[in-house]
């Protein structure tokens, strides 16, 4: 699927901007993977890829069985 690369980058950038601007506050729970997939009109695997990127960047934290939350900012941010 050629648009998937563009989609995951666009979505990761959009969520990153929401976190950095404060629209998504530290400790705030993100919508579920399914909800995000529906919101952005993409497959769940695309959202899983986005969450991996955001976790790698230290922007979100996954809590098994509870969801994904915006991470507290680090001193280096």
Closest-CA residue to 28 (of 74, 59, 65): 59
Whole-angstrom distance, CA of residue 77 vs CA of residue 64: 25
How far lies 7's CA from each of 10, 14, 65, in Å?
5, 10, 26
Give the tens place of pLDDT for each residue, 4-55. Answer: 667 999 999 999 999 999 999 999 999 999 999 999 999 999 999 999 999 9
DSSP code of residue 29: B
Per-residue pLDDT at 77: 43
- Architecture, CATH, for domain 3-70: Orthogonal Bundle (1.10)
Q: What is the pLDDT of residues 54-69, one digit of tens each?
A: 999 999 999 889 999 9
Let me know: does 24 contact 30? Beta carbons within 8 Å. yes
The domains of the chain are located at 3-70
Burial of 72 (0-12, 13-18, 19+ CB in 10 A): exposed
């Amino acid at each position: 699927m050629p648009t998937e690369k563009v989609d995951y980058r666009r979505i990761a950038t959009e969520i990153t901007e929401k976190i950095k601007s404060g629209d998504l506050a530290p400790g705030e729970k993100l919508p579920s993977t399914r909800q995000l997939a529906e919101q952005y009109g993409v497959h769940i695997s695309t959202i899983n890829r986005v969450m991996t990127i955001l976790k790698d960047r230290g922007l979100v934290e996954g809590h098994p069985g509870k969801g994904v939350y915006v991470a507290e900012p680090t001193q280096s941010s």
